Every structure is written in structure tokens, then in C-alpha cells.
Structure 1
Amino acid sequence: MKNYAQRVLVRLFFRMSDQTDSIAKASGEALLAVAELLKWRQLKHLLQTQQTWRIGECLLAQDRSRAEEYCHQSLPYLKDAQATLREAAVRFIGLAARPLRDQSREKLSEICSALQTLEKDSDPSIRSLIAQTVLLLGSPREQPRSGRTLRALCCWCC
């Protein structure tokens, strides 16, 4: 049961950003139940105090070895119709993929490629977030020189 509960953490976390209030609320309640089942006090505290922006960090802190798995679970949300879910996925991937910079360039390249599919997203804030995230992760495809970082960000978000 605990293994299954750990596999649904990311999905419940993203659905807390759903635009339908009832789905977001139910996801938060389910995530709280999972936190109780797993006995993750910090996650439970963050949910009870509504510190949702820190939940992604908490998930990764509990088990860094799942970072790659979490990234792969996040990828389908990059294609979601809801901008709030796409944004949550990009932010979480940015956090989860950081440890991969030193471990697997191949996996990091796959993740950056998936992120770059949103470079022409209809939401300018998501385009900007994608550009920042890819730059921070050190995309193998395009690494701007230090003097061109700002220009690269400006060009990508337009």
C-alpha cells in the first residue's frame, strides 16, 4: 500500500493546482491522507498550514532517489490543457531535475527536450518559466554564454 501511495504523490500534488476547486480540494485531502499513511510529518504540516509552494521540495527531501521517477511522472502534465497544471509541472521538474545534472546528462537532455516543447506555449509566464528552467538545468542543446543569458531569456519568452 505504501509503494502505491508513493507513486500517486506527484499526481495528487499537481491536481492541487487544478482550476476546478472541488478537484483541487479533494487532491489536497487525499495527499494529506497519504502523508498520514506514510507518516511524513513535514508533508502533513505543509498541507495543514496550506504551504503548497513547499510541497514539491518536501517530496524530494523525503526521497531524493525518486527525483528521476518524479520527473517522468511530471512530463504528461506539460501537455495538460490547464495552464496552472503546466506551470506546476515545469516548476516541479525544475526542482526534481537538479540532482540529475551531476548524474545523467542523457536523462537531463530528455527532460530539457520535453520542456522545450512548451517554448511556444500560449501563456507567456510559462514560456518564461521554461526558458529559465532550461537555462538553470544547463540544457545540452543550447547553453548561452554568460553575457548572453539575459538576451536568451528575453528571446525565449516572446
Structure 2
Amino acid sequence: MMLQAANSPVCSTLVLELTGRLQPLFHHTTSSVQLLSLELFQRLMQSVNKKERQPMKTRVYENVIELLCLLHDESPEVAEASRVTLLGAAAFLKKRRLRKLLEKRKTLEVGKYLLSGCGSRAAHYVQQAARCLWSHQQPIREAAVRFLGLAGQHLRGHQELLQPIHEALENLPEDTISSVANLAAQTQCTLRDAERAAPSRLSLREWLRRAWSRRPSLWARR
């Protein structure tokens, strides 16, 4: 069996490839397919060998936000399976704080924790949440909007990262329920108000450059 032979280099490559192909199945309209894909994702995390651990970490990070949104799945079985899968991801990534938040079911705090210190993963997190806006379930879409709102607050001041958030919230699917559309509109207004209210933050180099350029005029006033 493939998972039992995961120490094989060829098999490890297949495990990584299969992990990358599971994402669309997380949002399948049939809960049994969702449950099977989540179980398989857990098994794949457990089967990868040490050599492929780093590439697998990338795969796990590419799915954590979608798993977070799936905690709001209308099927209690799928929601719980998503939580168990996220717990497995926390163990795989060695994120003790994430595991504790999941055990206490503090969903909002989980989102904040994932965003803290996310660095280059921020753009990928936004992409994952944007994909969830196309879910056939209203609770998952609402969860995606809320996460994008959190991400927008976290990324304030980084316009190149904020723009995809605004685009995702503006380009909702045509069949979007009014409550989701209203939540998206409110989130955008909140983010834009915060952006306008935020003071301009200059880097030390930029501040010094501007101060130096103003030096003659300052001297002239003496």
C-alpha cells in the first residue's frame, strides 16, 4: 500500500502530489467525500518521511485556512473532522499554541495566531480564504469573509497585500447570499476606514532621507 511504503523516494513524491490535490475535495457537495479527503490528509501528514518533512510543511500551510473555514461546515461530522485534521496539522508543525486554541475551540483566536508572524505566507492565506468565498455553504463563506477582515487588519500598511483582499471581497460569486455580501461590504468599509485613519509609517531610511533633504531649509530658518 502507498502509505505503508512512504519511505520510498518515489512514494514520498506521490504523497506530496496527492496532498496538493486534496484541496478541492474539502469543499465537495457530498459530506462523505469531504470526510474521506480529510482523513486522507491526516494520514498523509503522518506517513511522510523526514526527508520530505519540509515540503510537506509547505503543503500543510497551503491548507490551514481552508481547514479553519471548514470548522463552520453545516455537517457536524465534517466540522469535527476538520478540527481533528487541524489538530494533526498543529502537531505536525509543532505549534503547541495552535493545538491549545483548537482544543478550547477558540476559532477567532486561531485565525489571529496563524496571522501573527506569518510573513511570506500572508498572501497564501488570503488566497485560501478567497477560495472559500466560492463554497456552496453560507457559514463557510462568512468564515472566509471574517478571516479576510482579520488579515486586512493584520496587514494594514502593506497595500500590495491588502489589494487582493479588497478584490476578493468585491468579486463575490453571483449567487452570494445577501447576508454574506453585506458582511463583505461592511468588512471592506471597516478596512478602508482603518487604512485612512492609520498614520503614515516611514521606514528609518525613508525618514532619514526626508530629514536630510529638508536640511538646508531648516538651516535657513536659524
Report the TM range for the smaller structure's normalisation: 0.7 to 0.9
Greater Rg over alpha carbons, structure: 2
Question: Aligned ranges for residues 10-89 of structure 1 at < 5 Å?
Answer: 10-89=65-144
Distance 1:11 1:71 in 2: 10
Distance 1:50 1:102 in 2: 30
Structure 1 residue runs without a partner (length 5+)? 144-158
SS at match of 1:138: helix
**Aligned residues of 2:169 and 2:188 also touching (Cα < 8 A):** yes
- Per the TM alignment, residue 99 of structure 1 is displaced from its structure 2 partner at its CA by 4.2
Distance 1:81 1:123 in 2: 14
Give the match for residue 192 of structure 2: 138
From the superposition, tell whether residues 119 and 8 of structure 1 become closer, same or farther in structure 2 (CA, over 3 Å).
closer
**Aligned residues of 2:69 and 2:140 also touching (Cα < 8 A):** yes
- Per the TM alignment, residue 81 of structure 1 is displaced from its structure 2 partner at its CA by 1.3
Distance 2:153 2:119 in 1: 11
Distance 1:102 1:119 in 2: 28
**Aligned residues of 2:126 and 2:164 also touching (Cα < 8 A):** no
The yes-or-no answer on 1:113 pairing with 2:170 is: no
TM-score, normalized by length of structure 2? 0.56
Give the match for residue 149 of structure 2: 94
TM-score, normalized by length of structure 1? 0.76
**Aligned residues of 1:68 and 1:97 also touching (Cα < 8 A):** no
**Aligned residues of 2:115 and 2:154 also touching (Cα < 8 A):** no
Letter paired with 2:110: I
Letter paired with 2:61: Q
Percent sequence identity over aligned pairs: 36
Listed one character per residue, the Cα deviations across residues 5-32 of structure 1 (whole Å, up to 9, x for unaligned) are 2222112111111111111111100100
Aligned residues: 138
Distance 1:138 1:4 in 2: 32
